[in-house]
């Protein structure tokens, strides 16, 4: 049985999307504590497919994520967990193909846990990105405005 701040915040499982080929993908489950073990900074990314600013920011965040995890000696220190605000599971799956990080399972993101996380992380609108340290303390609630200007890394 898993326990700790990540389980309290995100629940026992996260998902990733593995592309099988150009048009097919498969969801893969991960135990939350294992998926976030050793990460120094975790971003909680609230966004949705129907949101224009989200569709604009997501590719910027994908590039930032790749750059952060490619830094010499700091590979894999940074993780993002997407908290979907999509309206249904199909939209979730389609939009998730544009991301290369973890997500809260759609039923969790669209349910009480997603709603509670939005309140707890002071989400007033999307896209919204919160950065947490390795034990779940908030580094910033306003990472979205900091990401494009952060050339050196967090």
Number of other CB atoms surrounding residue 61 within 10 Å = 25
Tell me the pLDDT tens digit for each residue of 27-83: 899 999 999 999 999 999 999 999 999 999 999 999 999 988 888 878 788 999 999
pLDDT attached to residue 150: 55
pTM of the predicted model as reported, rounded to 2 decimal places:
0.90
Tell me the pLDDT tens digit for each residue of 120-142: 999 999 999 999 999 899 999 99
**Buried b vs exposed e over 25-58: b needs ≥16 C-beta within 10 Å?**
beeeeeebbebbeebebbbbbbbbbebeebeebb
Burial class of residue 16 in the structure, from the number of CB atoms within 10 Å of its CB (0-12 exposed, 13-18 middle, 19+ buried): middle
Which residues are CB-neighbours of 46 under 8 A, at least 6 positions away? 83, 85, 117, 118, 121, 123, 126, 127, 128, 129, 130
């Amino acid at each position: 049985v898993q326990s700790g701040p990540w389980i309290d915040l995100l629940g026992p499982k996260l998902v990733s999307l593995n592309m099988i080929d150009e048009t097919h993908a498969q969801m893969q489950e991960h135990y939350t504590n294992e998926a976030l073990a050793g990460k120094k900074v975790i971003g909680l990314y609230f966004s949705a497919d129907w949101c224009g600013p989200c569709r604009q920011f997501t590719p910027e965040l994908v590039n930032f994520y790749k750059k952060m995890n490619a830094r010499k000696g700091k590979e894999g220190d940074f993780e993002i967990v997407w908290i979907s605000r999509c309206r249904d599971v199909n939209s979730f799956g389609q939009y998730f193909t544009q991301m290369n990080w973890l997500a809260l399972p759609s039923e969790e993101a669209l349910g009480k846990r997603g709603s509670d996380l939005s309140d707890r992380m002071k989400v007033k609108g999307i896209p919204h990105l919160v950065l947490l340290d390795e034990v779940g303390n908030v580094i910033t609630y306003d990472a979205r405005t900091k990401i494009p200007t952060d050339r050196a890394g967090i």
